[in-house]
Amino acid sequence: MCPSLQESNIVLNDVNGKNINTYGVAKMSIRVGKISYENNVIICDIALDAILGQDFLLKFVNKIDYKKMTLHTDEDVIQCWIGGKSNMICRVFASEGINLPANCYKWVDIQFPSAKVHDEPVYIESLYETVIEKNICVLAGIVQPVSDKLSVLVANFNNEDIDLNPNTQLGTCESCSKRVSDTDARCASVVVDNPESSPSQLPEYLKDMWERSSKHLTTDESERVAALFVKFQNVFSKTSEDIGRIENVQHRIDTGNAQPIKQMPRRLPLGKREIERQEVHKMLERGIIEPSQSYARDDENKIVQTPIEEDEAHQIRVITRSQYSERKDKVKISDCILDGWDTTEIRQLQLEDPVIGYILTAKEDSNRPQWNEISHLSSLVKTLWRQWDRLVIHIGMLYRNWTDEQNEVNVLQLLLPITKHNEVLKYLHDTPTGGHLGVEKTLDKVRQTFYWPNMKETVQKYCTKCDLCTSRKHSKESPAPMGTYIVGEPMEKIAIDIFGSSPAYR
């Protein structure tokens, strides 16, 4: 009897976030192993036959053994496999210990855990790691898993005998039908236009690779490899300076709704800056990178194109040519410092700040207040007032011009409103990239972008109250020294060291 389909408002999405078309929910009998289970099933468009959801596993499955690949229910133990029987690749083990003579081959009894799953012949081949590490190889062949005793020929290429321990992995096995279909698919895509190509036609830069690749091949196989190398010779790099660029494959990098961010240049020691400049010019000559044609804002807050000279190494960027011509008109330069910040919001917070707002208003009027006008205000306002000449307005926000003496660069520090202090400190101290550094290092990170009066005290207070930092740092306080106790007369206070119990002596 066909189950009745009921409408449902369930929304399903695939791993890429795309919506999956659903038709409804029906109660069906699901046969897993030898037992049937009644459960609700969502009817939708998916490539797989079915997917067991968490509700089914919680309701009927008591245990999942990932090592043995089994589901344990109240009625049965269900053997599982990956992608169906034909897709399953099993590991092949030696069933018992055996000695392999040097430069000889010998029959070895084998076992593989999922032999009962396969009801058709399987193809067994050697494991690459075993060949490299032990220099032994399983002779490829076909076996019937349902046989009472399974064995394969194992060749020992060493000059000494090798002892194989029980459960040593020798190779892998997979369904013959799966392997045949895969082989047909692979061979159908390989077409050699010139089968008569000989190794003498190989370019000089490919001969060494061909000789190393043909070391264990027959003459016919070696010639086929040479034909492939000749056909696709333009894919390989000709010299160490050649990056081997081809136009046969194109790719697209979708960044979604991600916006550009501001980031300080990487710090480099003075001794490495010349090396960096040389490497950048090498990449320019090879065509790996090209000068940036970024967009920036002028003094009137208009977006203008600013070509960048090749001489400045730190102004060269790696670009994706397939995306550059399409996306350069859509690039938006954001003056936000952290993700989610907006310049209009930051300006409004600066105006509402009791300290920054007063100075920002005066700066916009280009009228520095007199001392008698600010003498009654807080010390924080006076701190900014004393730095009047270092304060600038950029895109409507107040910045401080600060010189980083260590890196010999000038930095525009955003005057951060008090409402954003904890958010910035949490981002620069608590996040995984922050690393819960100490006061001085956290302060250095803050100075690269932000400034506010009494910034050091704020950072020190925040780091001191960090629970994770406090739990991991030991107190530097030393125990109190022993002192002298003043008494009024002899024997007024008596100190006794209690010792015991000690063994009895005669």
pLDDT in tens, 447-459: 888 999 888 899 9
Answer yes or no: is pLDDT of 150 > 80: yes
| Unique residue bearing structure tokens 């000494």 | 160
Percentage above 90 pLDDT, the chain: 2
Answer yes or no: is pLDDT of 323 > 70: no
Which residue in 183, 173, 53, 188 sits closest to 125, CA to CA?
173
The pLDDT of residue 295 is 45
Answer yes or no: is pLDDT of 146 > 50: yes
| Unique residue bearing structure tokens 């053994």 | 65
Answer yes or no: is pLDDT of 317 > 70: no
Q: How far, rounded to the nearest angstrom, does the alpha carbon of residue 79 sit from its chain's CA centroid?
A: 34
Q: How far apart are CA 420 and CA 348, in angstroms?
A: 12
- Report helix, strand or coil for 165: coil
User: What pTM was estimated for this model as a whole?
Assistant: 0.33
Q: What would the two tokens of residue 297 be?
A: 């804002």
Q: What would the two tokens of residue 230 be?
A: 């000749």
Q: How far apart are CA 343 and CA 301, in angstroms?
A: 12
Q: Is residue 130 within 8 Å of residue 122, measured between CB atoms?
A: no
Sequence-separated (6 or more) residues with CB below 8 Å from residue 409: 403
Least confident of 13-27, 63-77, 179-193, 244-258: 179-193
Mean pLDDT over residues 144-157, rounded?
83
Instruction: Round the average pLDDT of the chain to a whole number and report it.
Output: 76
| Unique residue bearing structure tokens 């790691």 | 129
HSE-CB for 105 with a 13 A CA cutoff: 10
The pLDDT of residue 180 is 53
pLDDT level of residue 31 (50, 70, 90 thresholds): confident
The pLDDT of residue 332 is 33
Helix (H) or strand (E) holding 27, with range, is strand 22-32
HSE-CB for 263 with a 13 A CA cutoff: 9
Least confident of 58-62, 410-414, 484-488: 484-488
Q: How far apart are CA 174 and CA 182, in angstroms?
A: 11
Least confident of 227-236, 335-344, 399-408: 335-344
Sequence-separated (6 or more) residues with CB below 8 Å from residue 28: 3, 38, 39, 40, 41
pLDDT level of residue 191 (50, 70, 90 thresholds): very low
Answer yes or no: is pLDDT of 310 > 50: no
